[in-house]
Chain A
């Protein structure tokens, strides 16, 4: 009884400390002179040179492309980490009822088309590789949950290749631009949009397969135990 009272007091003290912490965070935030500072104008000024109309995609794959390259590497590292922890115990064996049997048949084709649309529209409106890859990954997870798995052509070795392809293409482009004009990921003028679309297409595939592999304990689809 006494212990639980002590614990209750400690919890109350913690809540009050956290409240103070929140207030301090708020104060720190709003005492920043640059709370409303924005790189909007800088980005907008450089946007015409890229041939893209969506500033977010331009930031992701041109202005801060190195950042995005490293983030693809982080995704890959997470897969390696998950895989390195050994096989995860299998979840509940799927016993697809009528709904789980029918739903992927209806949804997966739509999701694949949506992913393609998001990828394509990324150059001019909200969308891009990360959004499209997430939708693709969700479609794959839905297939795996329903017990039907991926189509045979996309299992095993090919799935493994799809997982690294985004990083390989990104690093390849980085090397290519470094050798061509001495600046990493500085695309030759006129080629920006084409190169970005190429990188994004492969990255979409990679992100989709990496998310599926994370769901399966780091193994590419078709290799799970």
Chain B
């Protein structure tokens, strides 16, 4: 099994794991974490087929994607805080 296939399978595994948490966990923080793990899986899947030298296009998409994911997470966390404030303890 080549490294690329292994990375792709790991990416799919992370994606499914994150989806599981997103559906089953009720706490919003866990849902945000689940979404993040799904995102990491997608990133890993994107860069997985890269041989040597790696394909620069998915790499460029992933590096911007990571920073955008961080900012989206910040937005989700603030929404979580607001939800908790308006909804009481959860």
Q: Which residues of A contact B (CB under 8 A)?
A: 11, 14-15, 18-19, 21-22, 25-26, 29-30, 35-40, 43, 55-56, 58-60, 64, 67-68, 71, 74-75, 78-79, 81-82, 85-86, 88-89, 128, 130-131, 133-134, 207, 210-211, 214-215, 217-218
How long is the Cα–Cα vector from A23 to B9 in the complex, in angstroms? 10
Q: Which residues of B contact A (CB under 8 A)?
A: 4-5, 8-9, 12-13, 15-16, 19-20, 23-24, 45, 49-51, 53-57, 59-61, 63-64, 66-68, 70-72, 74-75, 78-79, 81-82, 85
**Chain A residues with CB under 8 A of B64:** 60, 67-68, 71, 130
For residue A173, give the distance in angstroms from its CB to the closest CB of chain B.
17
For residue A140, give the distance in angstroms from its CB to the closest CB of chain B.
14
**Chain B residues with CB under 8 A of A81:** 75, 78
Secondary structure dominating the interface of B: helix
For residue B63, give the distance in angstroms from its CB to the closest CB of chain A.
5
For residue B9, give the distance in angstroms from its CB to the closest CB of chain A.
6
Asked if A26 and B60 make an inter-chain contact with CB atoms under 8 angstroms apart, the answer reads no
How long is the Cα–Cα vector from A64 to B58 in the complex, in angstroms? 11
**Chain B residues with CB under 8 A of A128:** 63
Secondary structure dominating the interface of A: helix
For residue A87, give the distance in angstroms from its CB to the closest CB of chain B.
10
Tell whether A59 pairs with B56 under 8 Å between CB atoms, given A25-B15, A71-B64, A88-B81. yes
For residue B45, give the distance in angstroms from its CB to the closest CB of chain A.
7
Q: Which residue of B lies closest to A7 (CB)?
A: B24
How long is the Cα–Cα vector from A81 to B76 in the complex, in angstroms? 10
Residue of B20, B60, B61, B70 contacting most chain A CB atoms (<10 Å): B60
**Chain A residues with CB under 8 A of B12:** 22, 25-26, 29
**Chain A residues with CB under 8 A of B71:** 74-75, 78-79, 210-211, 214
How long is the Cα–Cα vector from A29 to B53 in the complex, in angstroms? 22
By Cβ-Cβ distance, the 6 closest A-B pairs, closest first, are A55-B56, A78-B71, A214-B74, A59-B60, A22-B16, A38-B55
